[in-house]
Structure 1
């Protein structure tokens, strides 16, 4: 059976609302960052709906014993924010996954050549192959940064089938690269935009998410 990249655009009204706030060029940095946090929260909610491992246990209610379904704490969970902009989504994701380990990955794109380089890598040398990984990267544009991130993770033993990406907007070039190289990945995004301009920015997009989040 052939594999195909799974891309989900959840039809949640709050995701669409906060996407609209983030797209608006007149939105000031504090509100933009709040919008990104909310997008991180709701996209993570959608991404982990059928993804978190669970176990059946017995609990004692005030009246009687009862079976309960709980998240299994023995299966490792990791969130990897792609710096800088991925930090804006991290707050929302971490509110739903408070016990997940956070490993920062700093990637920067040369605006002239569009080549990506790594300036910070906090990933361990090896990771449990059963680890579930959530990557926060608001913009999937040319695909350079996310491809480097996945390569770093797979080198450390991570299974792409257990990896999910949340982004605010995605463009076809990045999705095509991911699909060609890692077809068993899953992506959750608020919107798939039409394409890129000559500088590699997503159109209509939302501008530079890192600059807008931190007022730089």
Structure 2
């Protein structure tokens, strides 16, 4: 089970449109947790736009089936997930690439 570690949202979040950003959508579990938190805070599902760079079909299905009124925008849909639930072919570990910490 995914644990929420930190949250800090504006007090008027319920009256806003929200852009939820995540570089990679794999299984969808972290996205479901984040979207559920926004809904709990009063944000309308139709006011959430979930943006990511790369998505696996399994994650897209998991998120869109649970939240059909939310918009999901991605730049690429990769083939699938591997046995470790990583997007394949993917782009490697996003954080390592972004921060140039890969080997």
TM-score normalised according to structure 2 size: 0.88
Q: CA deviation at 1:124?
A: 4.2
Give the TM-score of the pair, scaled to structure 1.
Answer: 0.44
SS of 1:149's partner is helix
* CA deviations over 1:100-157 (Å, ceiling 9, x no partner): xxxxxxxxxxxxxxx43222211246623x3100011010101011011001100000
In structure 2, C-alpha distance between the alignment counterparts of 1:152 and 1:176, rounded to whole Å = 19
Alignment of 1:80-99 (within 5 A): none
Match runs of 1:10-21 below 5 Å: none
Match of 1:147 among 26, 32, 37: 32
Aligned to 1:122: 8
Alpha carbon RMSD of aligned pairs, Å? 1.5
Consecutive unaligned residues in structure 2, runs of 5 or more = none
Q: Aligned equivalents of 1:201 and 1:126: distance in 2?
A: 35
d(CA) in 2 for partners of 1:210 and 1:158?
Answer: 28
Q: Secondary structure at the match of 2:6?
A: strand
How far apart, CA to CA, are the structure 1 residues paired with 2:12 and 2:83?
A: 38
Among 175, 185, 203, which residue is 2:88 paired with? 203
1:35-74 to structure 2, matched below 5 A, reads none
Deviation sequence 1:158-198 (CA, Å, 0-9, x none): 01111111111111111111122100111111111111001
Rg comparison, structure with higher value? 1
Structure 1 residue ranges, 4+ long, deviating more than 3 angstroms after superposition: none
Which stretches in structure 1 are left out of the alignment for 5+ residues? 1-114
